[in-house]
Amino acid sequence: MRERIAIIGRNGRLGAALCRELAIHYEVLPLGREEVDLRRPIEPQMKDIGFELLINAAAATNVDWCESHQEEANLINGEAVAALAELCAIRRVRMLHIGTDYVFDGSATAPYEESDLANPISVYGSSKLIGEQSLLRASDQHLAIRVSWVFGPDKASFLDFMLHRAQFESEVCAVADKFSAPTYTHDFCEWIRPLLFDLPAGGVMHLCNDQGCSWQEYAQCGIDTARRLGWNLKCTIVKPIALNSMSQFVAKRPVYTVLSTKRFFQMTGIHPRKWDEAVDEYVRAKLSAGS
């Protein structure tokens, strides 16, 4: 019999990929906000839903929206996670919860390890930290997996917006002094498989593609691949701009949040491939799919 995994966030960028890719190996129960709304009391919504593992990939992810909706952000990213984690602990099943690099203040100069001090500088980051801490308080078997700059075919992200702009606009710019590591949803779905049942790690784990880059390098890499594949682009060079010129940002963004995946490697023996290889594969797949 295949294990039953409930996944909250079935319409999200990462949640949709998890639902589709894990369904090849497990019985997956995809849950959207229609089934489980994280703003409403959790227990009554979950009472008839059975599973051997819960993955929460849902969250209030708009960093600027969170900044002006603190109460709701804390409810969705914090209190709801606590309620889910407690419910799972009572049922003696593990919960995997998706966390973020935005729990860090970005003042580091080398990749962050799980033991580094979290010190969020935005409401989004602090609401996600509340969720993580509540998760770990509920059970030491639960696992918070922090990711960064998620991209994949299920929902447009920064990379898709940049590719779209390069097709239709003569100038494309991106921030060159903020650094993180892209996370390809397809890779993530492969990486987490051993962590589901075979190596049931608890605590916090960082998981993203290898090595860091700026937003500008990330966009340039995608555009370079598209150009090599013969896309008709109006712009082929991404102009660097400074983070402090982004006057439309409401929330503060951490400058450097590259995550170290050393713990993941020690546990599984898997070394995530470098981010530019993943971007290249994604852009090729996007072209083949005609999107």
Distance CA 106, CA 253 (A): 8
- Whether 218 contacts 181, CB under 8 Å: no
Bridge partners for 8 per DSSP: 31, 56
Minimum Å gap between C-beta 242 and ligand NAP is 21
Q: Which residues are catalytic?
A: 124
- Whether 69 contacts 127, CB under 8 Å: no
- Whether 126 contacts 159, CB under 8 Å: no
277 near ligand NAP (CB under 6 A): no
| Interface pick for ligand NAP out of 5, 7, 57, 89 (rule CB under 6 A) | 57
Tokens 């916090």 correspond to 204
CB-nearer residue toward ligand NAP: 12 or 111: 12
Minimum Å gap between C-beta 237 and ligand NAP is 24
Q: Which residues contact 99 (CB under 8 A, 6 or more apart)?
A: 128, 131, 132, 144, 145, 146, 147, 204
| Contacts to ligand NAP from residues 96-135, by CB under 6 A | 98, 100-101, 128
Minimum Å gap between C-beta 100 and ligand NAP is 3
C-alpha to C-alpha distances, 259 to 54, 88, 147, 165, 272, nearest whole angstrom: 24, 28, 8, 28, 12
| Interface pick for ligand NAP out of 19, 83, 118, 150 (rule CB under 6 A) | 150
Distance CA 217, CA 179 (A): 9
| Interface pick for ligand NAP out of 5, 6, 7, 9 (rule CB under 6 A) | 9
Binding mask 151-180 for ligand NAP (x = CB under 6 A): ----x-------------------------
Instruction: Point out which residues bind ligand NAP (CB under 6 A).
Output: 9, 11-15, 32-33, 36-39, 57-61, 76, 98, 100-101, 128, 147-150, 155
